[in-house]
Structure 1
């Protein structure tokens, strides 16, 4: 009897030990499972963070490149349109001061100075207009975009079919970004796309602005453009990012390009 009890106790102890071992194995398995799962989650989060950092870095680089290109353009405009003409005025004025010209030559020189001065004023107004269009400041975004489209139409380089519905959703600084985006799209259609026609639709709801833009130009290869974006596209992407908007575009070589931009009204 005592022997049977000892055997039963031994069996119970063995069962308990086996149960403890099983529980330990399960516990270790759970710990390893959570460890490796957590490791995968952390790795995925790190990869996501690195992608976000890389995107922000590319965006900053694009913004800097765009700013540098704009500075170069402004510097070139100042040199060609203003500095060079003022040098001519200065030289002509010195000739007059010397007093070696007869009356007819003096009149001709004065007429020349007046002509150059008038052209310089026109150039300075155009430069100021490019930096900050007065119509945008005085009459708002809708009027500024309509004037911009009409200027491209008047140039006879491209036909622009446009519809603009906008009622002061954004601040003046953000309106300037929207204006520059449209300006960049039109310039790209003319310079690079060699397009003949553009369709531009700008519409709004109470809280969102949508821009739909398409042309019938040369188009471009999406895969190639993702690897090597030009200044113009980087400029557009940077401005859309500043607006907290979403940009999508589609194109095929020989079949034009389509751009869609949507951005919500910022919360006060």
Structure 2
């Protein structure tokens, strides 16, 4: 009887020990599971942070590159449109000061100075307009885009079918970004796409601005462009990112290009 009780006690002790071992194994397994899971989560978060840093570096590099290209363009325009013409005025004025010209030569020189000065004033107004269109400041984004389209139409470079619906949703700075994006798209259609027709639609819904742009130009290979983006596309991407928006585009060689842009940036 006593022996049987001892055997039962031994069995209970063994069961208890086995239960304790199982619980310890489960506890260790849970600790290891949470440890490695946490490690994976941290690794994923680090990878995400590194990707974000890499993206921000690429965006900063693209923005700086675009800014430098803009500075070069402005400097070239200043040289071609203003500096060179002022040099002509200076030379012509020196001829007058020397006093060795006949009366008819003086008249021709004065007329030439007047003509060059008039062209220089026109060039300076055009440069100022390109830097910050007065109509954008005075009459808003819709009027500025419509005027931009009319300029391309009047130059007979493009036939533009445009429908702009906008009610002062964005801040002035963000409106300028939208204007520059559309300006860049039109320039690209003419310079690189050799397009003759463009369709531009812009509307707003739920405090978002939506832009759909398409042309009938030569198009491009999307995969190649994604690997080696030009200044124009980088400029557009940088501005869309500043607007906290989204950009998608599609194109095929010989079949034109389509761009879809949306912005989530409210008026500030």
Q: Call closer, same or farther: CA 1:189–1:108 in 2, change over 3 Å.
A: same
**1:230 equivalent in structure 2:** 230
Alignment of 1:19-38 (within 5 A): 19-38=19-38
Distance 1:252 1:22 in 2: 64
- Per the alignment, residue 213 of structure 1 pairs with 213
- Paired position in structure 2 for 1:203: 203
Write the mapping of 1:125-204 to structure 2, written as runs, cut at 5 A: 125-204=125-204
Instruction: Give secondary structure in 2 for the equivalent of 1:195.
Output: coil
**Which runs of structure 1 show a deviation greater than 2 angstroms over 4 or more consecutive aligned residues?**
none
Q: Distance in 2 between matches of 1:38 and 1:27?
A: 16
Q: Note the 1:25-174 alignment, pairs <5 A.
A: 25-174=25-174
Give the TM-score normalised by the residue count of structure 2. Answer: 0.96
Q: CA deviation at 1:57?
A: 1.2
Structure 1: gaps (5+ residues): none
Give CA-to-partner distance per residue, 1:79-117, whole Å, 9 cap, x none.
111111111111111111111111111111111111111
* 1:217 to partner: Cα distance: 1.4
Aligned residues: 268
Residue aligned with 2:254, SS: coil
Q: Which whole-Å CA distance do the structure 1 matches of 2:28 and 2:221 have between them?
A: 53
The Cα shift of 1:206 comes to 5.1
SS in 2 for 1:138: helix
State the alpha-carbon separation in 2 of the partners of residues 198 and 168 from structure 1. 24
Question: Is residue 249–residue 257 contact of structure 2 (8 Å, CA) maintained in 1?
Answer: yes
What is the CA–CA distance in structure 1 between the aligned matches of 2:84 and 2:261, rounded to whole Å?
41
Secondary structure, aligned partner of 2:214: strand
CA distance in 2, matches of 1:220, 1:53: 30
Q: Alpha-carbon deviation of 1:244?
A: 1.2
Q: Tell whether 2:243 aligns with 1:243.
A: yes
